[in-house]
Chain A
Amino acid sequence: MPRRGRTLARQEARAGIALLSPTLIVVLVMVVLPILWTIIIAFQSLRLRNLRTRLFDFQFTLDNFSTVLGSPGFLEALKVTLIYSVVGTALSIGLGLVAALVVRKPFKGRTFVRASMLLPYVAPVVAVTFVWQIMLNPELGIVNAIGTDLLGWSESIPFLEQRSGTLSIFGFDLGVPTALIVIILYQAWRYFPFSFLFILARLQALPAELDEAARVDGATPLQRFWRITLPQLQGVIALLTVLRFIWTFNEFDDVYLLTQGGAGTEVVSVRVFRYLTGRGDIGAAAALSLVLAVLLGVLLFLYFRFFVNREEAEAI
Chain B
Amino acid sequence: MSRTETDPGVAERPQLPKAAARRPSRPRPPLSREIVETRILGVLKWITIAFFLIATLFPFYYMVELAVRSIEDVALDPGALWPPRGASLAAFGEVLRSVEDGGQGFLTFLRNSGIIALASVALTLAVSILGSYAIARLRFFGRRQVNFLFLSVYLFPAILLAIPLFVFFTRIGLRGSLFGLVLVYASQIVPVTIHMLRNYFETVPESLEEAAALDGASRLTIIRKISLPLAMPAIMATSLFVFMIAWNEFLFALLFLVENRENWTVSLGLSQLAGSVEVAKTTLMAGSVILTLPIVILFFATERLLVEGLTAGAEKG
Seen from chain A, the residues whose Cβ lies within 8 Å of a Cβ on chain B are 9, 12-20, 22-24, 26-27, 29-35, 37-38, 41, 46, 51-52, 55, 98-99, 102-103, 111, 113-120, 122-128, 130-135, 137, 139-142, 144-146, 149, 189, 193, 197-198, 201-202, 204-205, 215-216, 218, 220-222, 232, 235-236, 246, 249-250, 252-253, 257, 269, 272-273, 276-277, 282, 285-286, 289-290, 292-293, 296-297, 300, 315
Is B204 in the interface zone, CB < 8 Å from A? no
Interface size class of B (residues with CB under 8 A): 35 or more
Roughly how many angstroms separate A30 CA and B30 CA in the complex, as a whole number? 62
Roughly how many angstroms separate A27 CA and B38 CA in the complex, as a whole number? 52
Tell me if A's interface is mostly helix, strand, loop or mixed. helix
CB distance from A188 to the nearest CB of B (A): 10
Q: Within the complex, which residue of B56, B59, B170, B317 is in contact with A235, where a contact is CB–CB below 8 Å? A: B317
CB distance from B236 to the nearest CB of A (A): 16
Residues of B within 8 A of A127 (CB): 63, 267, 270, 288-289, 291-292
- Assuming the contacts A126-B270, A127-B291, A201-B311, asked whether A252 and B157 have C-beta atoms less than 8 A apart, the reply is yes
CB distance from B242 to the nearest CB of A (A): 13
A-B pairs under 8 A by CB, number: 301
Cβ contact within 8 Å between B307 and A197: yes
Is B168 in the interface zone, CB < 8 Å from A? yes
Which 3 A-B pairs have CB atoms at the shortest separation, nearest pair first?
Answer: A145-B79, A23-B131, A30-B187
Cβ contact within 8 Å between A197 and B155: no
Cβ contact within 8 Å between B292 and A124: yes
Roughly how many angstroms separate A146 CA and B164 CA in the complex, as a whole number? 47
Roughly how many angstroms separate A197 CA and B313 CA in the complex, as a whole number? 12
- Assuming the contacts A13-B138, A102-B45, A130-B284, asked whether A218 and B164 have C-beta atoms less than 8 A apart, the reply is no
Interface mask (B80-112 → A, CB under 8 Å = 1, otherwise 0): 010000000000000000000000000000000
CB distance from A253 to the nearest CB of B (A): 5
Roughly how many angstroms separate A144 CA and B267 CA in the complex, as a whole number? 27
Roughly how many angstroms separate A260 CA and B100 CA in the complex, as a whole number? 30
Roughly how many angstroms separate A277 CA and B52 CA in the complex, as a whole number? 38
Q: Within the complex, which residue of A9, A116, A128 is in contact with B57, where a contact is CB–CB below 8 Å? A: A116
CB distance from A164 to the nearest CB of B (A): 24
CB distance from A176 to the nearest CB of B (A): 21
Roughly how many angstroms separate A272 CA and B45 CA in the complex, as a whole number? 43
Roughly how many angstroms separate A142 CA and B150 CA in the complex, as a whole number? 44
Cβ contact within 8 Å between A123 and B155: no
Residues of A within 8 A of B230 (CB): none
Cβ contact within 8 Å between A38 and B34: no
23 A-B pairs with C-beta separation under 8 A? A14-B140, A19-B133, A24-B146, A38-B160, A55-B171, A120-B59, A125-B248, A126-B268, A126-B291, A127-B270, A130-B271, A131-B62, A133-B274, A134-B66, A137-B281, A142-B81, A205-B315, A205-B316, A221-B38, A250-B156, A272-B163, A276-B163, A315-B317
Cβ contact within 8 Å between B78 and A27: no
